[in-house]
Structure 1
Amino acid sequence: MRLPWMSRAERRLWASARDGAELGALMARWLEGDLASRPGYAARFGPDEETADLVPALAGLCRTGWVTTMSQPGVAGPGADGLWWEQRAAVEGWLSRTDLLEPLMRAADRAGLLTSVTDHDYGTWDGPITVTRRDGHAYTTMGGWMSRRDLARQWPELHRGLVRQITGGVHLAVAAPEYGEDGQRMWDVLAGAVRTEVAR
Structure 2
Amino acid sequence: MSAAAVLHPRAFGIKEARGRLAGWRDAGRRRRAEARAWYQAGTMEELAALTARWLRGQMLWTPNGHAGGPDPETLPLVDVLADLNLAGILTETSQPGEKAAFHGRPWRQRAYVTAFVADPGLARGLAAQAISAGLVVRAYRPGRRVDENGERDAVDVTTWEGHGVMTGMGDRISPRAIRRTFPGCDRQAVREVIRAWQVTLIDPEWGRDTLLWPLLTRFLNSRPPHST
TM-score calculated relative to the size of structure 1: 0.89
Specify every segment of 5 or more residues in structure 2 that has no aligned partner in the other structure, as ranges: 1-22
Alignment counterpart, residue 92 of structure 1, candidates 110, 114, 119: 114
Matched letter for residue 91 of structure 2? T
> Residues 98-155 of structure 1, C-alpha deviation per residue, up to 9 Å, x if partnerless?
3211211111111100111223334443322211111183220112122211111111
TM-score calculated relative to the size of structure 2: 0.79
- In the TM superposition, 1:34-113 aligns within 5 A as 34-42=58-66, 44-79=67-102, 81-113=103-135
Instruction: Tell me the SS of whatever aligns to 2:190.
Output: helix
Alignment counterpart, residue 157 of structure 1, candidates 160, 184, 194: 184
Aligned length in residues: 197
Matched letter for residue 94 of structure 1? F
Give the Å deviation of 1:96: 3.0
Structure with the greater alpha carbon radius of gyration: 2
Specify every segment of 5 or more residues in structure 1 that has no aligned partner in the other structure, as ranges: none
Match of 1:187?
A: 213
Match of 2:154?
A: 128
Match of 2:166?
A: 139
Match of 2:4?
A: none
Whether the 8 Å CA contact 2:44–2:190 is kept in 1: the answer is no
Task: State the superposition RMSD in angstroms.
Answer: 2.2
- 1:51, 1:122 → 2: CA distance? 30
Give the Å deviation of 1:53: 0.2
Matched letter for residue 158 of structure 2? T
Identity rate, percent: 31
